[in-house]
Structure 1
C-alpha cells in the first residue's frame, strides 16, 4: 500500500481533447458505411431518422460518458466505483475496444499497403487500372459496358449483348426455348431480337451471362487477399508476407503514437484529425468536375419518402449513430478522464457530435460524385458500382481513382487519408485498453507506461496474424460482425441504468453542476428524460430490431458454418459475461447487493481541491498517497471507511 502514486495524465490544451474526440468519432465508417446506408435506405430521406436518432440516442449518451469520465477522472473500469455492482460494465467496454482494435488495425494495414503501392507507381499507372496482369482472369473487364440505349440497330445490340454472354450457353438455351414452343424452329438470337433476349426471356439466359470483374476487384481479391487460394474458414491458407509486414508497420505506428500516453497522441491528432477534411474537400472539388457527377449526387440526396415506413431504415439509422459516435467502447470515458475538472464537456459533446454527423454528410457528396463518374464510365447504375465495407474502400474507390488523371497521386492521397482516419479511432481504442488496465494497478503500470503499451501492441499484432492469411478476410468479417454489435448497445444500456437509476439522476445532475458551475434548464427538459427513459427504450428497440433482422454472417457468396457462428457469438457474449461476473463479484466482495450498489467512499473528483460539498468530508480518499493517511484508515491490510454511511 505504501509508496507514492504517479499522478494521472491530463490534456495540455482543450483543443487536444476536442480533436481527439473528433478523430475518434470520425473514422472509416464515415467514408463507407454512412453513404452506403444512405442510398440503400432512401437517399436524402435517410437523414430524417438519422438526425432523430442522433438527438434521442447519440448526443445524450455522448454527453453522458464525457461528463461521467471527467467528473471522476477515472478510466472505463475504475469509474464504476460510482456503483461497484457495475464494475463489469467497464471491463466489458475494455473487452469490446480490445476486440475491435485487433481487426481495425488490419483494415489500416490494407490502406498502408495500397498507399505504398500508389507511392512506388507515382511515375506510372496503378496496377489495378487495367486487366492483363498475372493475377487477372478471363473474366476481368475494364471496358465500359455497352450503352444499349444509344444503339439504334438491333443487330448491333444483339452483338453487344453476346459480348457479355457465353455464346454456347445461349445457343443451348434457344434450343430449349424452341423445344418448349416458346420460339420458332430455326430461330437464332438475331431472330429473337435484343428486346426479347434482355426482357421477355431474360430469366432463361441468366446462367449464360458472364460474371465480369473489374481490374480493381481482381487486384483486391486475387492479389492483395489471394482469397481464391483459401477454402473457407476450414482452410484459411498460409500467411501473406506483404500483409503481415504492413500489419507490423501499422502496430509500430500505433505504439509510437501512444508510447508517451496522451502527451504524444494529443499532438498526433492535430494532423490526423484535420488532414482527412483537406483530402475530402479536394476529392469533392475534383469529383464535381467529372462527367456523370450529377447522377451520383442526385442518387445520394433525392429522397424516397416511402422508405421511412420501413422499420429497418430506423434501425439502420440508430445503429449508424452508435457506431459513428462511439459510445459504449469506453473511449469517451477514457478521453474525458484526462480533462480538467471544470472543462465544459457539454459544449464539447455538442460540437463533436455535430462535426461527426456533418462529416458523414459532407463525405457523402465527395463519394457519390466519384461514384456517379464511375457509373457514367461503365454505363451502369450508381447502385451497381457501389458496395459497402471493404468492398467500397478497396474496390469501388480504387476503380474510380484509377480513372482520374495522375491516378497514382490521387490514390496515394486517398489511402493516406484512410490511414489518418483509422489511426485516430485506433489510438483511442488502444488507449482505452491501456488506461483501463493501468488504472487498476496505477503504482506499477503508470511508471512503466511505454513498456506496457509495447506489450499491448505486440499482443494485438499476434492476434491479428490470422487475418493476414489468404482467408483472413473471413476472420476479419467474423470479428466485425460480432465483436461490436448487440453487446455494444447493451453495455450502453447498462451504464445508463447504473448511473440514472442506481446512483441517482439527481446526484448525477448535482455532480455535473459542480463541474460546469451551472445547470441549464435544457438538462432537465432534454437530457434527464432521455437518460432515464427515452434513450434506454431506443436502445432496446435497436437490439430487438437487430435480432428480428438477424442473418448469419457471410462474405460475398460464402456463408459462415455453424461452428464459426458459435465462435462469433462467443465474441459477442464475452463483454456481457464480464458484466454478469462483475455483478457476482461486487455482491460477494462488498457483502451484499445493497452495499454493492452504493458508491464507494472514494467516489468523486480525483483532486482534493475539487472535492467540495458532500465530497469534502470523504476521508476514505487519499489523493496524495500519504502513508500516514493510509495507515490511519487501514485495518488488517484493508482500508476501512468510517464515514461510509454519511455518503
Structure 2
C-alpha cells in the first residue's frame, strides 16, 4: 500500500512489517507542518479582504469582534481538527467515520476544496499576468495611450483634485483590468471565446502547483520553506516603503482609529426602540446575534482566513507524528494569521493614503475596494504613483503569488489524499499520476473562467461556491464531534497524544466545545443565511435569474453529500439505528494502528539509542 494510503482494513497484529508498510507519510521535520498550516491559512484574503473590512466596519474597533471570534471559534476549531486528523491519521473523507451519520461531511469538505481550487487558480492566473506586466519601467496600466484604452480613459497621474475627474470616465487601471486582463464581454451569457493569455497563465499556475505537490508532502514540505516565509519579506518591504511616503498618515488614520459608534450601534438601537423592559435582555441578545453585521463579517473573515471546516487542517495534521504536541500549534496559527492580517493593513493603507494625498483628499474610503478590486485595481494604481513603482509592483505580485500557491497546497492535498484514503489499493499506489490527473481535470473545469465572460463567472463562483456550505459544514462538524462523539472523548484522544491536561484545562476545553463554539457557529450560520443578497454587476444591475439559479446549484454540489450519506447510512443500518452514532470498524482500526505504530517507533528509537550507548562504551 502506498505511504499515503488510508487504513481501510485491519492489519495483522502479528506482522509488524505489514504495519510498517501501511504507515502514513509524515512530515520530515515538525517545522514543515507549522509552515504548511501557516501557508494554508495566510492567503490572499489577509491582504485584499481584511483591510477593506477594517475600513468599512469601524476601523480599529473591528478588531474586537475579530479577536472574539478568533478566541472562541478559531482556536477551538483548530484544536478540534488537529486532534481528529492526528489521532486518526486520515483525511476528512475517512476521518468522519467516528459517526456514520456524518460521513458526508468529509466528502463535502473534499468538494468544497475542489471548487475552491478551480476558481482560486484563476486568481493565480491574474497574479501571474500582472507579475509579467510589471517588468516594465512604464507600467501599462499607468497611461491611456494603449490599444485597449477608450476615449473616456483618464489617469490619476498629476490629478490634484477628485472633483476634476471627468464624468462618465474610467481610470486607466480599470480599463487595463477590464479590457486587457479580462477582455470582458458585455454580458455573462456572452462567452466570446477563450482569453489566450489568461489561459496560458492559468496553465502556468497549475503546472507550478503540480510540481510542488507531485509527491505530496514530501515535495510541498520542502517548498513551504520558501513560499511560507518569502511573503513576509515582500510584505515588510511594502510596509517600510509605505510608511515613508508623504500622506501615509492619512491611510493609517483610517486604519488605526477606532470608530466605536458602529459597535455601539447595538445599544443605540435598543434605546431607540424603547427596549427598557422586562425583555430588554432578550431584545439586546436578538440584536447582538442577528442585526449587527460587523460581528458577522468578523466571523466570516475568521473562517475564510483560518480555514476550519475546509478540510485542510485535518489533512495536514493527519501527517503529524502521533505524539506531536499540537496544542501550541492551535494557538500559534490564529495568532500568526491574525497578526499577518493586521500587519498587511500597514502595507495597504499608507500607500493608498499617499495616493489620496496626491489628489488633495483626506478620505481613502472613496479609493478602497474589496477582493480583486483592491488587489488588481486600487493597489496597482497606488503603487504606480510612487517612485520606483515597478520594483514594488513586482514585490507585491510576487507576494500574492506565493500566498496563493501556499493555500493551494493544502487545498489540493485535501482532494488527492481524500480519494487515495478512500481507494488506497488503486489511487493510493499512484500518487504522482493521480495528482497530475486532478490538476488536468481542474484546469479544464476552470475553462469558463478564462473566457471573455470569466470575470462574471468568477463572481458567481465566489458568491455561491463556499460561503453557505462552509458554515453549514462547520455547524454540523462541531455538533458531530461535541455532542455525537463527545467532546470529553475527543479531548481524551488529544491527551493520549500530547499528555494529560490540568483539571482546569479539561474543564476549559469541554466547556468551549460543548457550549461556546457551537453557539458562535450556529450564530454565523443563521446570520449568513439572513444576510444573503444576490450578486450584482459593478454598475448595480443584478445578475440574470438563470445565473443565480446556477449559483445555487454550485452551492448545493458540496452540500448534497451530507444528506445523501446520512440517508444511505440510515438505510443500511435501519435495523440498528444506534450504530449511526458509533465509530465504524475501519475508523477504530485506523486509530489503533496509529497507536501501535507510535509505540513501535518508540521501541525502535529506544533500541537505537541503547545501541548507540553500547557502541560508546565499547569505544
TM over 0.5: yes
Q: 1:577 aligns with which of 549, 552, 560?
A: 560
Residues 129, 164 of structure 1: CA spacing in aligned structure 2 closer, same or farther, 3 A cutoff? closer
Paired residues of 1:477 and 1:555 also in contact (CA < 8 A): no
Alignment of 1:311-390 (within 5 A): 311-380=292-361, 381-390=363-372
Match of 2:258 in 1: 303
- C-alpha deviation, 1:601, in angstroms: 3.0
Paired residues of 2:190 and 2:452 also in contact (CA < 8 A): no
Structure 2, unpaired ranges of 5+:
1-8, 12-17, 267-291, 600-619
Q: 2:467 aligns with which of 472, 485, 492?
A: 485
Q: 1:603 aligns with which of 575, 581, 587?
A: 587
- C-alpha deviation, 1:388, in angstroms: 0.6
Match of 2:480 in 1: 498
Q: C-alpha distance in 2, partners of 1:100/1:305?
A: 35
User: What's the secondary structure of 2:313's corresponding residue?
Assistant: helix
- C-alpha deviation, 1:2, in angstroms: 11
1:80-106, Cα deviation, whole Å (9 max, x unpaired): 121122110000000100011100000
Q: C-alpha distance in 1, partners of 2:10/2:332?
A: 43
Match of 1:44 in 2: 60
Match of 2:285 in 1: none
Q: 1:437 aligns with which of 419, 424, 428?
A: 419
User: What's the secondary structure of 1:495's corresponding residue?
Assistant: helix
Q: C-alpha distance in 2, partners of 1:78/1:611?
A: 17
1:247-271, Cα deviation, whole Å (9 max, x unpaired): 1111001111110010001111111
Match of 1:391 in 2: 373
1:303-354, Cα deviation, whole Å (9 max, x unpaired): 1101113500011001100111001110000000000000111111101110
Paired residues of 2:488 and 2:510 also in contact (CA < 8 A): no
Q: C-alpha distance in 2, partners of 1:407/1:164?
A: 23
Q: C-alpha distance in 2, partners of 1:66/1:94?
A: 17
- C-alpha deviation, 1:214, in angstroms: 2.1
Q: 2:571 aligns with which of 588, 593, 600?
A: 588
Q: 1:139 aligns with which of 136, 140, 152?
A: 152
Q: Identify the range of structure 1 (598-607 vs 565-574) with the bigger mean alpha-carbon deviation.
A: 598-607
- C-alpha deviation, 1:376, in angstroms: 1.0
Q: C-alpha distance in 2, partners of 1:30/1:146?
A: 30
Q: C-alpha distance in 1, partners of 2:522/2:174?
A: 38
Residues 406, 347 of structure 1: CA spacing in aligned structure 2 closer, same or farther, 3 A cutoff? same
Paired residues of 2:86 and 2:319 also in contact (CA < 8 A): yes
1:16-49, Cα deviation, whole Å (9 max, x unpaired): 0000000000000000100000010010000011
Q: 2:122 aligns with which of 106, 109, 112?
A: 106
Q: C-alpha distance in 2, partners of 1:73/1:259?
A: 20
Match of 2:190 in 1: 235
Q: C-alpha distance in 2, partners of 1:392/1:107?
A: 13
Q: C-alpha distance in 2, partners of 1:130/1:525?
A: 62
Paired residues of 1:85 and 1:587 also in contact (CA < 8 A): yes
Q: Is residue 71 from structure 1 mapped to residue 71 from structure 2 by the alignment?
A: no
- C-alpha deviation, 1:547, in angstroms: 2.2
User: What's the secondary structure of 1:415's corresponding residue?
Assistant: helix
User: What's the secondary structure of 1:283's corresponding residue?
Assistant: helix
Q: C-alpha distance in 1, partners of 2:406/2:115?
A: 17
* TM-score using structure 1 length: 0.82
Q: 1:511 aligns with which of 475, 488, 493?
A: 493
- C-alpha deviation, 1:236, in angstroms: 2.4
- C-alpha deviation, 1:603, in angstroms: 3.0
- C-alpha deviation, 1:582, in angstroms: 1.0
User: What's the secondary structure of 1:362's corresponding residue?
Assistant: helix
Q: C-alpha distance in 2, partners of 1:357/1:586?
A: 40
Paired residues of 1:83 and 1:600 also in contact (CA < 8 A): yes
Q: Identify the range of structure 1 (546-555 vs 83-92) with the bigger mean alpha-carbon deviation.
A: 546-555
Q: C-alpha distance in 1, partners of 2:297/2:63?
A: 11
Q: Is residue 564 from structure 1 mapped to residue 547 from structure 2 by the alignment?
A: yes
Paired residues of 1:84 and 1:599 also in contact (CA < 8 A): yes
Q: Is residue 217 from structure 1 mapped to residue 174 from structure 2 by the alignment?
A: yes
Q: C-alpha distance in 2, partners of 1:114/1:610?
A: 46
Paired residues of 1:284 and 1:365 also in contact (CA < 8 A): yes
Q: C-alpha distance in 1, partners of 2:344/2:465?
A: 26
* TM-score using structure 2 length: 0.86
Residues 495, 134 of structure 1: CA spacing in aligned structure 2 closer, same or farther, 3 A cutoff? same
Q: C-alpha distance in 2, partners of 1:59/1:607?
A: 24
- C-alpha deviation, 1:546, in angstroms: 1.9
Alignment of 1:466-477 (within 5 A): 466-477=448-459
- For these two proteins, the number of residue pairs brought into alignment is 553
Paired residues of 2:60 and 2:259 also in contact (CA < 8 A): yes
